[in-house]
Amino acid sequence: MRTMLTVLAVLYSAAACAQGAPPTVGDKPLVQVKSRGTPTKPKSVAAGVQACLDIEDGTKGRLDCYDAVVKPAPKPKPSAAKGVLDCRFIKEEDDRLACFNKFAEQIPKFR
C-alpha cells in the first residue's frame, strides 16, 4: 500500500512539474521557430489570379493556375459570371479561361 502511494505521489508531482512554466535558457523562455519554406498560396484571391497572368495566355498551365486559386465546381447551366469566383462554375475549359482572364485583367495592381 505504501509503495503504491509513493508511486502515485511521484507520478503526480512529475505531472504537476510538466504543466508548470515553459522551459527556459537562462532567463529567456525557449521559442520554437517554424520554417517559412515556400508559400503555396497567395494571400488573396485577387493576388493569386493576378499571378496567373504571368503564364502564357491560352495555355493549360494558366487554367491550372486559376483552378488552383479558385477550385472548379462546374454546373450544367451556369449563369453569367458576375465575379471571378463565378468562373469556377463554367464547365468548358476555354470558356472558363476566358472568364478568368476577363476578371484578372480588370483587377488594379497595387505595388
DSSP string of 26-94? TTEEP---------SS-SSHHHHHHHHTTSPTTSHHHHHHHHHHS-----SS-----SGGGGGG--SHH
What is the pLDDT at residue 97? 93
What single-letter amino acid sits at 102? Answer: K
Instruction: Note the pLDDT tens digit of each residue in 70-88.
Output: 998 888 887 888 888 899 9
pTM, rounded to two decimals: 0.54
CA distance 102 to 105: 6
CA distance 53 to 5: 70
Please list the ranges in the chain whose pLDDT falls under 50: 42
